[in-house]
Every structure is written in structure tokens, then in C-alpha cells.
Structure 1
Amino acid sequence: MVHCPECESTLAEASDVEFVETEATTGIIAASKRFYAVECAECGTTLGSGVAGAKAGGNAA
């Protein structure tokens, strides 16, 4: 069984975590990226993160 390292709540179902999306500003290579974080639904601790959705020209929706 997986548990949150901060509050020790059980992470067994999709509802036990929250996916948070943060859009970044255009950077050096003129591409906008979307950053994702997975947080514990009980205490809000960030459990993991990633980058996806790069779009040339920085015109991300």
C-alpha cells in the first residue's frame, strides 16, 4: 500500500490525489510548457511533477 510521506494517509484510489496544472510563461526557446503536479488530497503535499504540452511559438491554450 502507498502512503503520503507527510500525513501517512493511504493513496489507494484516484480520488486520494489531485492533479494540478500550472502554465509557464514563454521561455528562451519560444515554447510554452505546462507543468503538472500530483498532490495528496488530504494534506496538499506534492508527491510528483512533470512537464508536458510544449507548443512552438508559446501559444499554448
Structure 2
Amino acid sequence: MSTNVHCSECGTDFTGKDDVEFVDLGAETRFFKASKRFYLVACNECGAAIGGGVAGR
């Protein structure tokens, strides 16, 4: 059984890691210093945010 994962905005199928972009918000914005890194996962086709999270340093 295969899983079909796609962007809810544009419908692009995600078949590999190159289909999404991981953006480290701590490094990009330099808005604040913290012991954790905040990141966003976006569709490479349309740029829609599809997820995100927090990672420890």
C-alpha cells in the first residue's frame, strides 16, 4: 500500500525531500535568541506552509 501525500493548496504530489523546503526561522529572522530552533515546511511548487515545529539545539 502506498501513501499519496500532496499539497493541500496546489495539489502537487510530494514524492521526495526536494518537493518541500525546510526554513529555519531562527536563522532567517534573527528576531530572538532561544535554545530551540523554529522551522517551517513549505511546498516548493506554490510556497504554501504545510507544517512546522520546534527542534532543540
- Mark the runs of 5 or more structure 1 residues left unpaired by the alignment: 27-31, 55-61
With normalisation by structure 2, the TM-score equals 0.75
Runs of 4+ in 1 over 6 A off after TM superposition: none
Greater per-residue strand proportion: 1
Aligned residues: CA RMSD: 1.4
* Greater C-alpha radius of gyration: 1
- Mark the runs of 5 or more structure 2 residues left unpaired by the alignment: none
CA distance in 1 between partners of 2:6 and 2:37 (Å): 27
Tell me which of 21, 25, 35 is aligned to 1:22: 25
* Aligned match of 2:48: 45
Greater per-residue helix proportion: 2
CA distance in 1 between partners of 2:55 and 2:32 (Å): 14
